[in-house]
Structure 1
Amino acid sequence: MSETVLLPGTASLGVMGGGQLGRMFVHAAQALGYRSVVLDPDADSPAGLVAHQHIRADYLDEAALAELAAQCGAITTEFENVPAQALARLAERRVVAPAGAAVAICQDRADEKAHFKASGVACAPYAEITTAADLAAVSDDLLPGILKTARMGYDGKGQMRVRSRAELVAAWDELKNVRCVLEQMLPLALELSVISARNAAGEIVQFPVQQNLHIDGILALTQVPAPAVGPELAAEALASAARIAASMNYVGVLCVEFFVLQDGRLIVNEMAPRPHNSGHYTMDACDVSQFDLQVRAMAGLPLRQPRLHSPCVMLNLLGDLWFGTDGAERSPVWDQVLALPCTHLHLYGKASARPGRKMGHLNISAATAAEAAATARAAAALLGLPTQW
């Protein structure tokens, strides 16, 4: 990894992927005066619509990769399922952060868990299942458990809860007998995440620990400061995330998600080699956002410890909000929501809404955590979102 500095206003920055994370990266890059180039096959991709240049092609298209490398001084990715080999090809010519090798670890749940163990960070007991013999050899101690595909799983996709061996066999068949990981189901108390930014020199800065609530496997809200997390637990989560990043020689923004068990133990769940939904609050509650640090890390600019200047609640906005109880499409009551104090609406520019699709997020900041939570509940009530949290 080169430590060449790309000064603001003097270079183009590229991103593989055109979704909302790419869109917010492009906005952050453009604010510093960088040209932005997106490679994504979708003509209407949210990031492609706002970038200076959109290369519409498959992620493994050799001509497109060559064009992206020719146009940009450094390149990143906005989602973990960009082929790692494409990032490796780009790295032959340009700075790529994070590196393809790090992204490859995050793409495979078995490799990811092996990396956690090698980093000295505890994860749930698990077994890798590749063959019928692996399936038969699974320890009874892992049941009940969660069977997850090793690759291409996110937002609750590619995973099934299993309570018995019969359910395990049936679930593996339903998942088409692909390589899987079976995790022991543990008694959870809390879900946390840590977002870190690390540069090529090994310097790391981190945002405060975030407390998350998932519904049906999809993040529903994030609270910062984490209301149920004390100083010792927060320090352990931050240190664990830093070890995980350092042991990959990671460069860029990395999100590490944790579980807190009912007995108080901290268990790492998974990681994402990019900015994360749970870090969207940083856009309005911190002096630099996760996207600002993504730009800084890949461009070789100085990283500095971000400061949380306002307590915040982030509400995830899914496409369900665009449909009434009768199924008819409607527009959410944004005027009423924005009448509430310190509400910051971010919509992603997607052409159409559908249930479960991430359409935007709402940040609610305030002078105190209690005020932020109260306003967030009022906004949630207006939108028809859960308010009991």
Structure 2
Amino acid sequence: MKNQTSRLIKPGATIGILGGGQLGRMIALAGRAMGYRFVTMDPTADAPCGQAADRQIIASYDDVEAALQLAAVSDVISYEFENVDARVAEVLESKSYVPQGSRLLRITQNRIREKTAIQELGIPVAPFRVVASLDDLKQAVRDLGLPAVMKTATGGYDGKGQWVLRSEDELAEAYDTLQKAGTELIVEKFVPFQMELSVIAARNPDGELAVFPTAENVHLENILHLSIVPARVSDEVRARAEQIARTIVEKLDVVGLLAIEMFLTADGELYVNELAPRPHNSGHYTMEACVTSQFEQHVRAVCNLPLGATDLLSPVVMVNILGEHLEPVLERVESLPRSAKLHLYGKAESKAKRKMGHLNVLAPTVEEALDMIEKLEIWT
């Protein structure tokens, strides 16, 4: 059914972005090519998105007055990461056009609500327990077994805000450490996965839906290292992963992009691990390897344009450039493979483990792309 509140936002309009990081930057770069203007709101002066936008409002994410300034100059507002203050999003919904809404933001900001919502759709997640005390944690471990993973219900990314529990001896220390975050805690049964996969799906307010090819993801120290596309899985697994993405996006009435991260077990089962209601690191490969990039697709979706084709044009491997990789990449920039596309995010300070950019390496096969990356001797 056509969403009665949907609006067509044509090129030439101004898109407001809550958040000023690299995802916002790449949304703005894609949207500017389509003829849109951009205003971003972020507390850091000269933020990555601010460099690509027409204007940056420098303010904290919970600053309602600044958000209202953003609304006053924007025809449509989007967010580029899910830790935007939900209260601000709710205020903007009443004052401006925010097609992504605050409901999905509220769900994905809290791991308990997120996993409950996915379960209610009949889609498998790792069994979990909510814990509010050390005794709760001990009972959860008795129920779920070890190893298990304890996480803060809110906040945390790239492995922050979580603890892999391997023995009962560390329960007290783990609980004491994570409870300092002042949020609810969740314990999940450890899924002995064979591979990590992700699918990015898009939906516009009129209900049109498009799904990008499944990515195979490799993490190092809980930070995404490689995204390999096409994923080295069977057609049946690929189709099932993409159908899970379609179901979640449709049933949760998503507008914009949703990244669905999954675990694949040795016996072929798929478990949804996390959702991200925005462009995602594992979708950066789309910038050169697909007919439509995830960033252009996000603009199309929130503006209610017809969604772009998501066909894969070439096998590709995306490799993240962290702070410790930036200098070696720049030293070798003249010898990068001719099929490699370099993207740097314009961050002022390079720090170890901080995402500074990425490299998309296209090749006839993913094995050849992986070999090109290995030969650069940067990520060894």
Superposition TM-score tier, normalisation by shorter sequence: over 0.9
Q: Match of 1:176, as an amino acid?
A: Q
Q: Match of 1:234, as an amino acid?
A: R
3-state SS of paired residue (1:137): helix
Q: Which residue of 2 aligns with 1:173?
A: 176
The question of whether the paired residues in 1 share the 8 Å contact of 2:200 and 2:258 is answered with yes
Q: Which residue of 2 aligns with 1:276?
A: 280
Instruction: Give, in whole Å, the separation in 1 of the partners of 2:256 and 2:198.
Output: 16
**Bigger mean CA deviation after superposition, 126-135 or 112-121:** 126-135
Instruction: Give, in whole Å, the separation in 2 of the partners of 1:163 and 1:213.
Output: 22
The question of whether the paired residues in 1 share the 8 Å contact of 2:148 and 2:165 is answered with yes
Name structure 1 gaps, 5 residues minimum. Answer: 325-329
Q: Which residue of 2 aligns with 1:109?
A: 111
Instruction: Give, in whole Å, the separation in 1 of the partners of 2:348 and 2:308.
Output: 36
Q: Which residue of 1 aligns with 2:333?
A: 334
Q: Which residue of 1 aligns with 2:369?
A: 372
The question of whether the paired residues in 1 share the 8 Å contact of 2:134 and 2:175 is answered with no
Q: Match of 2:21, as an amino acid?
A: G
3-state SS of paired residue (2:35): coil
Instruction: Give, in whole Å, the separation in 2 of the partners of 1:4 and 1:97.
Output: 9
3-state SS of paired residue (1:96): coil
Q: Which residue of 2 aligns with 1:164?
A: 167
Over residues 223-277 of structure 1, what are the superposed CA-to-partner deviations in whole Å (9 max), with x where a residue is unaligned? 10012x1111111111111111222211001100000012221111101110000
CA RMSD of aligned residues (A): 1.6
- Residue 63 (structure 1) shift: 2.1
Over residues 19-38 of structure 1, what are the superposed CA-to-partner deviations in whole Å (9 max), with x where a residue is unaligned? 00010011011111111000
Question: 2:152 aligned with 1:149, yes or no?
Answer: yes
3-state SS of paired residue (2:124): coil
Q: Match of 2:220, as an amino acid?
A: I
The question of whether the paired residues in 2 share the 8 Å contact of 1:341 and 1:375 is answered with no
Instruction: Give, in whole Å, the separation in 1 of the partners of 2:331 and 2:113.
Output: 41
**Bigger mean CA deviation after superposition, 58-67 or 344-353:** 58-67
Over residues 75-100 of structure 1, what are the superposed CA-to-partner deviations in whole Å (9 max), with x where a residue is unaligned? 11111101111111111122214221
- Residue 64 (structure 1) shift: 1.1
Structure-to-structure mapping, 1:279-318, within 5 angstroms: 279-318=283-322
Q: Which residue of 1 aligns with 2:206?
A: 201
Instruction: Give, in whole Å, the separation in 1 of the partners of 2:145 and 2:41.
Output: 41
TM-score (norm 2): 0.94
1:17 to 4, 19, 34: 19
Q: Which residue of 1 aligns with 2:240?
A: 236
The question of whether the paired residues in 2 share the 8 Å contact of 1:142 and 1:183 is answered with no
| Cα separation, partners in 2 of 1:119 and 1:279, compared to 1, 3 Å | same
- Residue 113 (structure 1) shift: 0.7
Over residues 124-154 of structure 1, what are the superposed CA-to-partner deviations in whole Å (9 max), with x where a residue is unaligned? 1111112345334325233220111111011
The question of whether the paired residues in 1 share the 8 Å contact of 2:291 and 2:309 is answered with no
Q: Which residue of 2 aligns with 1:250?
A: 254
The question of whether the paired residues in 2 share the 8 Å contact of 1:18 and 1:47 is answered with yes
Question: 2:270 aligned with 1:266, yes or no?
Answer: yes
| Identity percentage of aligned residues | 43
The question of whether the paired residues in 2 share the 8 Å contact of 1:128 and 1:181 is answered with yes
Over residues 131-181 of structure 1, what are the superposed CA-to-partner deviations in whole Å (9 max), with x where a residue is unaligned? 345334325233220111111011000111112333222201111354111
The question of whether the paired residues in 1 share the 8 Å contact of 2:256 and 2:302 is answered with yes
- Residue 120 (structure 1) shift: 1.1
Q: Match of 1:369, as an amino acid?
A: V
Q: Match of 1:367, as an amino acid?
A: P
The question of whether the paired residues in 1 share the 8 Å contact of 2:137 and 2:187 is answered with no
Structure-to-structure mapping, 1:121-136, within 5 angstroms: 121-136=123-138
**Bigger mean CA deviation after superposition, 133-142 or 311-320:** 133-142
The question of whether the paired residues in 1 share the 8 Å contact of 2:23 and 2:279 is answered with yes
The question of whether the paired residues in 1 share the 8 Å contact of 2:141 and 2:148 is answered with no
- Residue 297 (structure 1) shift: 0.7
The number of equivalent residue pairs is 374
3-state SS of paired residue (2:179): coil
TM-score (norm 1): 0.92
Structure-to-structure mapping, 1:86-101, within 5 angstroms: 86-101=88-103
Instruction: Give, in whole Å, the separation in 2 of the partners of 1:176 and 1:93.
Output: 36
- Residue 331 (structure 1) shift: 4.6
Q: Match of 2:152, as an amino acid?
A: T
Q: Which residue of 2 aligns with 1:327?
A: none
